Structure 1
């Protein structure tokens, strides 16, 4: 596609920066910036004192110009720190490199050096780049020689952009590329906002949690009896499962499968195992030492846009408060006078599948507000007057079946989840195929397209190259996950433009913050925007959303983590921070 004409210029830009006060979690302090106009070669090299005197970028940022960068959220963090308006037209070559290579082998990685290498272009040596970046992160003062060296280093990334843009531009889908650029701007705002935490509790955690591990194990293990000291005993756990009548997946050797994926899956089917799983995960994450928290008590980290194959964000599990064990999310607490709202699309994957496949039965089930009970009714398994209360067991089984289809489970895995014979699981899966025939025809078509055509794509152009040995389960799930990511990006862009403070995107949800007096109105607006975003992606089929509102001094809490949180609070002598429910 031909590159649009920009009379204000095509500006290639890079900043160097370090965190304020040298502390990760604080906003960036811009050290220098180099900008070059692509056509004329005009180059601007500005040190931090020059930048601080400016009220806007020293080049056009309106609709007449194009701003080109590699991983824009980092550069826009500097714009926000300087108080500069963000550019209107944004081309993030990181996002476009991911779009052009997603699923393909990228030998040198997805960074700038990797993108250059992929296109056969020279770059600065990785070792030299690392050394210079570390010197910047150390902070000043820098003498004149160092300042020139840092500016020269910054300019090498601009030179790299100057090489990379011609290599990539012919394959760019410009309207969609610029839309992804807008999401880079939204991501910068999100990373700058961060998530407010109860810093007092966090500091006590970090100082004392190692010392209470033994007591924590003892407190949680009272319900299980599977630990000996601090050691999880496989044979004791097997005895517990037998006594409770809980089937468990096994390895080919016959041994219990004890990885976290197995515990996560089985905890969904058997909620009494949730605290044990939380304990096992938590023992390796107790200090939260890698969680970056700024001087203002907010967790800030890269949300790592477009890092997953489905195009979803992929922040570090150790650096993002939603990454560690669910009970640790109790640290999330709005500041005085503020509230938080966790707004997530209702049954997003089911709704996307219904819309994209055009399955009318599935659409009707989604529109009912309870697609799991609707499925049971459509399959003739329960009477039309059945409710969640009167037919809870049947609903749970049909819900498990819907989720099994979404996750690509077979009958054996579904049987474990519902604690029923494999024959019953096969019956449920067969009912799904008979009830939602159009969906299954479409899903089979997705797999055929991936295998024969070599790629899949979303309605906004995010694509996956499938390679020689594609995974059937991943292929079937890609349209739901990837189009879910598209609607999240659209919603975040609109909410940013509307001035809503987004603290974090979390899979199919958005965590927002607002003053208490406007919180309800902001929540309602967020739900409207999310509904519109889903309708835009799904050709008019709108998805509803659910909300969980937290007003200071309340704290955010995931229901799965309540028992663990309260146990830890008790052991730390923080009874006033216990919660009654989630």
Structure 2
């Protein structure tokens, strides 16, 4: 009966009730603001052990207190390119959805990913919105189908999904039913993967990273393993391809790469990195390419995460009041 006050709960609730987002950021900052632990060298760069393969899925698992991307999102404003340089943050768009589509071979799911907006396309395929629907004409329906598509990958039930989308459990159950009906091939593959894991006691990625499965293992973790673990394989391969292409990779971040380049070469570096990421996805997913979105940070600008921008501005406003006019850092 106690309140759930962990970071993941606040993050989930903020999707339905944006006003609790800043409160969650504040709680996380107060609980974990240990900047003294942040591993920053004399050159101003954050370096820490990435703990590759530490997670069961083969994902990196660096210390949250020592890695800037493990801190509260507003603290990413501390990231700034050197004078004359720029940074680019490239992350795979809807990576887990794309991996699920490719590995399962579900034609409708693959078509949804290829549309450029798999969540809206899911709603169209399910008959919930007309074929002419766009983000602007049906934003609420798109958001509900997006939440459903993401929830499925983590085995979320109707009750939890209903809370997340702010709708009755019956409507959430209908969304899950539509997902099963629309992507039948995916669900057949997912069920078969689960059966195989329990029968053989293991499940492996394209390149052989294996999770050993006990009879009492959580089925949700097993179902999600192929997406997470093959995503990890993809990230490692993209790092290799990008580095071999002459790109300075600053950090791998879950499903993204942070790179740097002189301002005059930044656009070219982005193109090379995007090509490396697409190539990596094609290798892991048997010629099924995943696209990458890009955010550019040019000196003297700072990295800005939209989720933490309000907190960043608030902190600098408070500092300005305390110090009699400290200019806000943008």
Would you call these one fold, judging by a TM-score over 0.5? yes
Hey, what's the Cα distance between the residues in 1 that align with 2:328 and 2:213? 48
Hey, what's the Cα distance between the residues in 2 that align with 1:445 and 1:511? 36
Equivalent residues in 2 for 1:50-449, closer than 5 Å: 253=1, 255-449=2-196
CA shift digits 1:163-214 (9 cap, x unpaired): xxxxxxxxxxxxxxxxxxxxxxxxxxxxxxxxxxxxxxxxxxxxxxxxxxxx
1:9 matched to which residue of 2? none
DSSP-derived class of the 1:289 partner: helix
1:250 matched to which residue of 2? none
Q: Does 1:522 align with 2:264?
A: no
CA shift digits 1:296-346 (9 cap, x unpaired): 111111111111111011100000000111000110000100000000011
On the 8 A contact 2:38/2:66 being kept in 1, the answer is yes
Hey, what's the Cα distance between the residues in 2 that align with 1:341 and 1:361? 32
CA shift digits 1:510-567 (9 cap, x unpaired): 0000000000000011001100110010001000000000000111111010110001
Unaligned runs of 5+ in 2: none
1:544 matched to which residue of 2? 291
Hey, what's the Cα distance between the residues in 2 that align with 1:346 and 1:256? 33
Hey, what's the Cα distance between the residues in 2 that align with 1:543 and 1:456? 23
Tell me the TM-score normalised to structure 1 length: 0.55
Hey, what's the Cα distance between the residues in 1 that align with 2:268 and 2:326? 33
Deviation, 1:259, is 2.3
Q: Does 1:500 align with 2:247?
A: yes
Hey, what's the Cα distance between the residues in 2 that align with 1:534 and 1:265? 28
CA shift digits 1:358-381 (9 cap, x unpaired): 000000000000000000000000
1:101 matched to which residue of 2? none
On the 8 A contact 2:206/2:284 being kept in 1, the answer is yes
Deviation, 1:575, is 5.4
On the 8 A contact 2:87/2:259 being kept in 1, the answer is yes
Could you tell me which of 307, 317, 327 is aligned with 1:570?
Answer: 317
Deviation, 1:285, is 2.6
Q: Does 1:491 align with 2:272?
A: no
Hey, what's the Cα distance between the residues in 2 that align with 1:347 and 1:501? 25
Unaligned runs of 5+ in 1: 1-252
Hey, what's the Cα distance between the residues in 2 that align with 1:399 and 1:430? 14
Using a 3 Å threshold, how does the CA distance of structure 1 residues 532 and 575 change in structure 2: closer, same or farther?
farther
Tell me the TM-score normalised to structure 2 length: 0.97
On the 8 A contact 2:34/2:65 being kept in 1, the answer is no
Hey, what's the Cα distance between the residues in 2 that align with 1:578 and 1:565? 9
Total equivalences in the alignment: 326
Deviation, 1:287, is 4.1
Hey, what's the Cα distance between the residues in 2 that align with 1:285 and 1:465? 33
Structure number with larger C-alpha Rg: 1
Deviation, 1:270, is 2.0
Give the CA RMSD over aligned residues.
1.1
On the 8 A contact 2:235/2:255 being kept in 1, the answer is yes
DSSP-derived class of the 1:369 partner: coil
DSSP-derived class of the 1:505 partner: strand
Hey, what's the Cα distance between the residues in 1 that align with 2:95 and 2:7? 24
Deviation, 1:470, is 0.8
**Deviating runs (4+, > 4 A) in structure 1?**
none
Hey, what's the Cα distance between the residues in 2 that align with 1:298 and 1:336? 14
1:129 matched to which residue of 2? none
DSSP-derived class of the 1:546 partner: strand
Deviation, 1:467, is 1.6
Deviation, 1:271, is 2.0
DSSP-derived class of the 2:81 partner: coil
On the 8 A contact 2:99/2:227 being kept in 1, the answer is yes
